[in-house]
Amino acid sequence: MEQQLRDDFIELFGQGNQPRAFFAPGRVNLIGEHTDYNGGHVFPCALSVGTYAIARKREDNIIKLYSKNFPDQGIVELNLNDLSYQEAHDWANYPKGVLHVLKQNGLNVEGGFEVLYFGNIPNGAGLSSSASIELATSVVLNGLFNLDVSMIDMVKFSQKAENEYIGVSCGIMDQFAIGLGKQDHAILLDCETLKYEYSPVKLENATLVIANTNKRRGLADSKYNERRSECERALAELKTVLKITSLGDLTIEQFEENKNVISSDVDRVRAEHAVYENVRTKLAVHKLNQGDISGFGELMNESHKSLRDLYEVTGSELDALVQSAWEEEGVIGARMTGAGFGGCTVNIVENSAITRFIESVGQKYQEKTGLKADFYIVEIGNGAGELKL
Ligand code: GLA
């Protein structure tokens, strides 16, 4: 793959210095959904699929960006001194956003460069292809220009690019999982303090399977920002009676005792999800660490129900796909993953049941929705970095 991309690079940008190769994965979240921007816990892992970026410096101030995934866009060319957001630059606004934030933070990207990107994450599936491009760009720039930025800062800069340059108020989960992922492990991250721990994902005789609804979802125009505001309002009201900084600070008992200060019924159930999901995530990780895989799976199911009934971010496609999985023998747990409103589900399936699972769930899903689902066996990979030949 890498050699092919290097050849493509030379064909596209011409001979010269040898380019360097970088990679950033996609991510899947196992549990802890819509908790990150509420100061709670998440439990994602990096995937073995992601974004490759082949890159080298130029002698001038020109930046050339090309993606094999968007060949119709051709080479997007710009000048280091004009990093303004441009609609026409489409996907290339993601790398531009990262560069913009790095420069804003005083990091010296001192000249132009050229990059060829190739991503093998299904696009728009909610497996964080955009955060993957951001982190791939961060590691490219850090590597080419010896910026000496730590991975955690690259994670924060990438999130900032998404928040301020792209205009999506996402939390830190995606960029964190992509930056700090570790092969065969998931990360329990406290999004308030950024303290984290790795847990080996050992599922004995079962495997993680991602199922794609193939219902495309756009974060920016979805109800994501609305959910954030609902939770912020609930927090503001809770703060009038409790000394807390985020919903993630609350125990279930504290929430139950004080929830009536939240005046809107809708805001109250959104907060209820955030609080219970946070507690559920910590418990789920504890169970996994103890080898209680079915306990972990049950909490995944609870998580989906809460996202469906309280947070209302699932929608008919995700519900159909999860419901079909729940009806299948050999399924230990199933839930939506990511922002919701389409995208993917994540399932723990006994190895002996996988073939039947894919066939039967695929068929039921198609009957219910008219859409064809795709299935991927998850391989948990490492975080972003340079690929050494
Ligand atoms: C998206 C966001 C994340 C997180 C999830 C929901 O993936 O980018 O920050 O909020 O949705 O858990």
Model confidence over 244-297: pLDDT tens digits? 999 999 999 999 999 999 999 999 999 999 999 999 999 999 999 999 999 999
Q: Which of 199, 221, 242 is the last residue of a domain?
A: 199
* Nearest atom (ligand 1) to Cα of 128: 7
Lowest mean pLDDT among 160-164, 215-219, 348-352: 215-219
170 lines ligand 1 (CB under 6 A): yes
388 in a structural domain: no
Q: Going by CA atoms, what residue is nearest to atom 8 of ligand 1? A: 170
CB 337 within 8 A of CB 346: yes
> Ligand 1 center to residue 30 CA distance, Å?
12
Which one from 7, 90, 174, 249 is the annotated catalytic residue?
174
What separation in Å is there between the alpha carbon of 61 and the centre of ligand 1? 35
Cα 60 to ligand 1 centroid, rounded to whole Å: 38
39-86: per-residue pLDDT in tens? 999 999 999 999 999 999 999 999 999 999 999 999 999 999 999 999
Whether the model clears a pTM of 0.95, i.e. scores above it, the answer is: yes
**Pair 202, 291: CB distance under 8 Å:** yes
Name the residue among 178, 175, 225, 216 with its Cα closest to residue 343.
216
Mean local confidence (pLDDT), 217-221: 55
In ligand 1, which atom is closest to the CA atom of 42? 12
Both 213 and 353 in one domain: the answer is yes
pLDDT-derived band at 322, boundaries 50, 70, 90 = very high
Q: Is residue 122 part of a domain?
A: yes
CATH classification at residue 254? 3.30.70.890
Q: Which residues pair with 186 in a beta bridge?
A: 199
Ligand 1 within 6 A of CB of 338? yes
* Ligand 1 near 343 CB (within 6 A): no
Instruction: Examine the domain organization and report whether 37 and 171 are in the same domain.
Output: yes
Pocket test for ligand 1, best of 28, 30, 35, 36 (most atoms within 8 A of CB): 36
Residue 323 lies in a domain: yes
Q: Is residue 384 part of a domain?
A: no
Total number of domains constituting the chain: 2
Q: How many CB atoms lie within 10 A of CB 86?
A: 13
Q: Evaluate whether residue 349 is within a structural domain.
A: yes
Q: How far is the CA of 171 from the centre of ligand 1 (A)?
A: 6
Same domain, 221 and 366: yes
Residue at a domain's end among 148, 179, 199: 199
Q: 372, 10 in Cβ contact below 8 A?
A: no
Asked if residue 13 has its Cβ within 6 Å of ligand 1, the reply is no
Radius of gyration of the chain (CA): 21
Ligand 1: which residue has its CA nearest to atom 11?
Answer: 339
Average pLDDT over residues 101-105: 97
> Helices 293-309 and 265-289 sit at what angle, rounded to 10 degrees?
170
Q: Residues 277-287: pLDDT tens digits?
A: 999 999 999 99
Hey, whose CA ends up nearest to atom 9 of ligand 1?
A: 171
Co-location of 253 and 168 in the same domain = no
Do 257 and 301 fall into the same domain?
yes
On whether residue 194 sits in a domain, the answer given is yes
Q: Where among 184, 199, 214 does a domain terminate?
A: 199
Q: Say whether pLDDT at 366 is over 70.
A: yes
Q: Which domain range does residue 304 map to?
A: 206-378
What is the number of the ligand 1 atom nearest to the C-alpha of 172?
A: 9
CA of 214 to the centre of ligand 1 (A): 18
Residue from 30, 172, 174, 194 to probe ligand 1 pocket by mutation (most atoms less than 8 Å from CB): 174
Q: Is 174 a catalytic residue?
A: yes
CATH number at residue 72: 3.30.230.10
